[in-house]
């Protein structure tokens, strides 16, 4: 076997998968048929879960110049009446990061790719195309053609098809996408404001719920701004995307001298999901497995969650720590999450895309009433679900995302908790719990096992120099409060930060731990 893993395609999802494979020590080949990143931004927003993942691979500082917290979104009627607000949650942030960000995709993708160089066991081949994948001798055999036109066959334990919405591997295998029934034509225009221009533009993101032409305005980092316009039935996409037509559409907000058009593309916003996310040793991730209308800014986020949810499982299976059955949980967990998120994105789309004046007026009244009954506005992150099935226990808080508090350790080092524990299995123990009996038993249980659990013991005061190294004091009380609200004193957390389960007593925690080990072995 040449590699543990071959990753096909290095869009944001493949590049993230390559970084995570590096983090988990998998010998990996990542191939991309083009020579450089796609220079036109598509995704513009991502959320705190993705930012946490970027930070886990050491990328947060490098991408900071191209990323900015997401502003609130206001939904306006034709008469500019505010009918819905989506706000970002206020600090302190539950996952350690602002709930949502805007970003410029090409420079962030460049940093994602550059970061792979920090993992010596990950090889990247640009200008190399995968032509076919076949199973032979219990391995995946991948036929590639490099930039010089030379062909070779490379073998791997697993292949990740991160080859985008048109996925040639999916097509080769004739795998079916289920249509979740959304299909609307939109024009997307990115502009760079000229120095000093744009002072009268809205300071929030705006959904213009106007029956004549629904449209969206997004404030990007620096001078980057985006408009998205629904294309009317009597319009021709190639015509509306022409510069003079774009200038005409933008004239409501900007003078022609205020901006340069970065790019303009027309899309049909679809909702699709792959029926089978795995074919023998091939797994599908990102747009190759699902596509969602962009109204929740979740398409790329979902692909990055795919990588976060799969790579640690592949690493445990490849090293013999977990049974191959663990890999079946990939689709169980991810498909349910994608379906639910796509459902919400579609609901948003249907609100925004309403063209019937009578129905639009009804919509406006109902949204207005709802907004008035929730004065703080909807919090965007409350719309994203946790895990409902797969490798999780059966009671709350199983499947929730584990918070990430700011902590201080016994040496006085401050940081987000992940920077101390990494992407590990964790046993987190609250302040008001005598941990010794539990830890003794766990130690005995894991003796001789390759499976590693990081222990995190929360302390009421900052631990002293002589305290055990697993003791941390949290600075904002986020985690203690979270555990208190869920009535648990011990939490088992998976490497991708989803909670396996919670417990209140030593006995319950030991039983939970046994269920976790059994799930990994089955
Ligand atoms: C208008 C618009 C707005 C969006 N906004 C958002 C947003 O705000 N937030 C968000 O999260 N998502 C958003 N999305 C979705 C997001 O852009 C995509 O989900 C994401 O870019 C998909 O990434 P990917 O890596 O799966 O696929 P891609 O980026 O398509 O990458 C696939 C890669 O595979 C390569 N490849 C293909 N075949 C082969 C082969 N045989 N051999 C080698 N290489 C191959 C391709 O060259 C390509 O580089 C938006 C999408 C659109 C269109």
For the chain, the residue count is 522
CA of 319 to the centre of ligand 1 (A): 30
pLDDT reading at 107 higher than 80:
yes
Tens digits of residue pLDDT in 165-186: 999 999 999 999 999 988 889 9
pLDDT reading at 103 higher than 80:
yes
Task: List % helix, strand, coil for the chain (3-state, nearest 5).
Answer: 35, 30, 35
Q: What is the distance between the alpha carbons of residues 88 and 377, in angstroms, rounded to a whole number?
A: 9
Residue nearest ligand 1's atom 6 by CA: 43
Residue nearest ligand 1's atom 17 by CA: 43
H or E stretch covering 368 = helix 357-373
| Mean of pLDDT values over 71-87 | 90
User: Is the Cα dihedral 142, 273, 45, 54 positive or negative?
Assistant: negative
The token pair that represents 497 in the structure block: 């930060």
pLDDT-derived band at 269, boundaries 50, 70, 90:
confident
DSSP three-state, residue 358: helix
Residue nearest ligand 1's atom 15 by CA: 299
| Mean of pLDDT values over 244-249 | 96
pLDDT higher for 377 or 43? 43
Put the strands of the sheet holding 100-103 in their side by side order.
45-47, 100-103, 67-69
Q: What is the distance between the alpha carbons of residues 46 and 492, in angstroms, rounded to a whole number?
A: 27
pLDDT reading at 381 higher than 70:
no
pLDDT-derived band at 376, boundaries 50, 70, 90:
low
Tens digits of residue pLDDT in 191-233: 999 999 999 999 999 999 999 999 999 999 999 999 999 999 9
Residue with token string 């886990």: 56
Does 301 sit in the ligand 1 pocket, CB within 6 Å? Answer: yes
pLDDT of residue 21: 98
CA of 184 to the centre of ligand 1 (A): 19
Ligand 1 pocket, mutate which of 164, 288, 290, 308 (most atoms under 8 A from CB): 164
Torsion of CA 91, 92, 93, 97, to 10 degrees: 80
With CA atoms as reference, report the closest residue to 323 among 520, 36, 117: 520
Whether omega for the bond prior to residue 397 falls within 30 degrees of 0, making it cis, is yes
Using CB atoms within 10 Å of the CB of residue 22, give its burial: 0 to 12 exposed, 13 to 18 middle, 19+ buried: buried
pLDDT higher for 448 or 108? 108
CA of 11 to the centre of ligand 1 (A): 5
With CA atoms as reference, report the closest residue to 284 among 449, 150, 166, 428: 166
Does 267 sit in the ligand 1 pocket, CB within 6 Å? Answer: yes
Q: Is the distance from CB of 462 to CB of 406 less than 8 angstroms?
A: no
Mean predicted lDDT score pLDDT of the chain? 94
Kindly report the backbone phi and psi dihedral angles of residue 353, in degrees, each rounded to the nearest multiple of 5, phi listed first.
Answer: -85, 5
| pTM metric for this prediction | 0.96
Sorted by sequence, the CB contacts under 8 Å of residue 235 that are 6+ apart come out as none
CA of 303 to the centre of ligand 1 (A): 9
What is the position in ligand 1's atom list of the atom closest to the CA of 169? Answer: 41
CA of 466 to the centre of ligand 1 (A): 50
pLDDT-derived band at 88, boundaries 50, 70, 90:
confident
pLDDT-derived band at 377, boundaries 50, 70, 90:
low
pLDDT of residue 57: 97
Between helix 299-318 and helix 329-352 the angle, nearest 10°, is 180
CA of 216 to the centre of ligand 1 (A): 21
Does 284 sit in the ligand 1 pocket, CB within 6 Å? Answer: no
């Amino acid at each position: 076997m040449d590699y543990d893993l071959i990753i096909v395609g290095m869009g944001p999802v493949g590049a993230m998968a390559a970084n995570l494979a590096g983090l988990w020590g998998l010998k990996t080949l990542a191939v991309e048929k083009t020579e450089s990143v796609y220079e036109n931004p598509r995704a513009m927003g991502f959320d705190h879960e993705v930012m946490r993942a970027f930070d886990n691979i050491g990328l947060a500082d490098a991408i900071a110049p191209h990323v900015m917290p997401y502003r609130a979104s206001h939904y306006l009627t034709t008469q500019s009446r505010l009918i819905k607000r989506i706000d970002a949650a206020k600090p302190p942030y539950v996952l350690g990061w602002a709930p949502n960000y805007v970003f410029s995709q090409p420079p962030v993708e460049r940093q994602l790719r550059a970061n792979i160089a920090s993992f010596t066991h990950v090889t990247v081949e640009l200008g190399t195309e995968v032509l076919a994948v076949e199973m032979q001798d219990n391995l995946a055999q991948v036929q590639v053609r490099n930039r010089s036109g030379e062909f070779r066959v490379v073998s791997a334990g697993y292949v990740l098809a991160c080859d985008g919405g048109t996925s040639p591997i999916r097509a080769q295998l004739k795998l079916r996408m289920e249509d979740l029934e959304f299909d609307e034509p939109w024009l997307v225009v990115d502009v760079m404001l000229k120095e000093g221009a744009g002072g009268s533009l809205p300071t929030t993101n705006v959904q213009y719920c106007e029956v004549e032409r629904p449209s969206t305005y997004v404030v990007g980092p620096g001078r980057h701004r985006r408009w998205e316009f629904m294309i009317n039935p009597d319009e021709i996409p190639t015509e509306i995307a022409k510069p003079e037509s774009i200038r005409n559409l933008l004239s409501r907000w900007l003078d022609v001298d205020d901006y340069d058009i970065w790019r303009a593309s027309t899309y049909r916003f679809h909702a699709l999901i792959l029926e089978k996310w795995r074919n023998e040793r091939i797994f599908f991730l990102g747009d190759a497995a699902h596509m969602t209308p962009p109204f929740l800014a979740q398409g790329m986020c979902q692909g990055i969650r795919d990588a976060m949810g799969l790579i640690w499982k592949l690493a445990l299976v490849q090293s013999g720590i977990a049974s191959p059955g663990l890999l079946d949980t990939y689709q169980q967990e991810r498909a349910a999450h994608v379906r639910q998120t796509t459902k919400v994105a579609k609901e948003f789309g249907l609100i925004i895309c309403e063209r019937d004046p009578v129905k639009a007026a009804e919509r406006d009244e109902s949204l207005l009433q709802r907004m008035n009954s929730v004065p703080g506005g909807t919090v965007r992150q409350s719309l994203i679900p946790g895990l409902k099935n797969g490798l999780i226990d059966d009671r709350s808080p199983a499947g929730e995302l584990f918070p990430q508090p700011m902590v201080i350790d016994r040496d006085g080092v401050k940081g987000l908790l992940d920077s101390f524990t990494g992407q590990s299995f964790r046993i987190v123990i609250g302040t008001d719990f005598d941990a010794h009996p539990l830890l003794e038993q766990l130690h005995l249980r894991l003796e001789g096992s390759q499976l590693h659990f990081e222990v995190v013991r929360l302390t009421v005061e900052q631990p002293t120099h002589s305290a055990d190294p697993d003791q941390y004091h949290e600075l904002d009380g986020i985690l203690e409060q979270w555990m208190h609200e869920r009535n648990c004193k011990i939490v088992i957390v998976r490497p991708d930060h989803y909670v396996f389960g919670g417990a209140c007593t030593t006995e319950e925690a030991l039983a939970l731990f046994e269920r976790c080990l059994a799930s990994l072995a089955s």
